[in-house]
Amino acid sequence: MRSVRHRLLAGLLLSPLLSGCFASGGDASSADADADAGSADGSRLRVALAFPPAEGFSPYGADATLLSRLGVTEGLTRLDANGSAAPALAESWKRENDRSWLFTVREATFQDGTDVTPSSVAASLAHATRAKPVPAALAGVTLTAKAAGDRQVRVTTAEPDPVLPLRLSSPSLAVLSAKAYETKGTTSPVGTATGPFELTEVNGTTAATLDRFDDYWGGRAQAAGIDAKFIADGTARTNALRTGEADIAEAVPVSQAASLDEGIGRETATTRTTSLLLNTASGPFADARLRAAAREAIDTSALAKGVYEGHADPGEGIFGPALTWADGKRVTPSGRARATEPRGTSITLATYDNRPELPEAAQVLKQQLEKAGFSVKLEVREYARLESDVLAGKFDAFVSARNTMLDTGDPVSILAGDYTCDGGYNLALLCDKQADQAVARAESVADSAKRQDATMAAEAAILRTDAVVPLVHQRIITGVAADVRGVLLDPYERTLVGTGTRR
**What's the confidence (pLDDT) of residue 15?**
34
Of 92, 74, 79, 70, give the one whose Cα is nearest residue 18: 79
**What's the confidence (pLDDT) of residue 297?**
98
**450 contact partners, CB below 8 Å, separation of at least 6:** none
Alpha-carbon torsion, ordered 66, 68, 69, 70, to 10 deg:
80
**474 contact partners, CB below 8 Å, separation of at least 6:** 270, 272, 273, 274, 308, 311, 312, 320, 401
What are the φ and ψ backbone dihedral angles of 264, each rounded to 5 degrees? -85, -40
Do residues 13 and 270 touch, judged by C-beta distance below 8 A? no
Do residues 397 and 294 touch, judged by C-beta distance below 8 A? yes
Write the CA distances from 197 to 86, 113, 224, 240, 501, integer angstroms.
20, 14, 9, 23, 11
What are the φ and ψ backbone dihedral angles of 346, each rounded to 5 degrees? -85, 130
Alpha carbons 156 and 145: distance in angstroms, whole number: 6
**What's the confidence (pLDDT) of residue 25?**
54
Beta bridge partners of 275: 400, 470
Beta bridge partners of 147: 153
What are the φ and ψ backbone dihedral angles of 402, each rounded to 5 degrees? -135, 125
Say which DSSP state 62 is in: T
**What's the confidence (pLDDT) of residue 272?**
87
Alpha carbons 132 and 248: distance in angstroms, whole number: 33
Alpha carbons 280 and 466: distance in angstroms, whole number: 9
**168 contact partners, CB below 8 Å, separation of at least 6:** 75, 76, 77, 85, 90, 137, 155
Query: Domains in the chain, please, with CATH?
Result: 270-475 (3.10.105.10)
In the predicted model, residues of the chain with pLDDT beneath 50 are: 1-21, 26-40
Q: How many helices (H) and strands (E) would you count in the chain?
A: 13, 19
**What's the confidence (pLDDT) of residue 13?**
31
Of 282, 222, 249, give the one whose Cα is nearest residue 71: 222
**What's the confidence (pLDDT) of residue 177?**
98
Alpha carbons 40 and 205: distance in angstroms, whole number: 32
**What's the confidence (pLDDT) of residue 431?**
98
The answer, yes or no, to whether the previous bond of 133 is cis (omega within 30 of 0) is yes
CA 465 centroid distance within chain = 24
**What's the confidence (pLDDT) of residue 201?**
93
- Give the β-pairing of 100-105 and 90-97: antiparallel
Of 407, 423, 414, give the one whose Cα is nearest residue 455: 414
Query: Residue 200, exposed/middle/buried by CB under 10 A (0-12, 13-18, 19+)?
Result: middle
- The radius of gyration computed from the CA coordinates of the chain, to the nearest angstrom, equals 22
Of 471, 501, 473, give the one whose Cα is nearest residue 486: 501
Of 403, 411, 408, give the one whose Cα is nearest residue 166: 408
Beta bridge partners of 102: 94, 154
pTM: 0.76
**What's the confidence (pLDDT) of residue 242?**
94
Of 266, 227, 195, give the one whose Cα is nearest residue 503: 227
Alpha carbons 327 and 470: distance in angstroms, whole number: 14
**What's the confidence (pLDDT) of residue 7?**
37
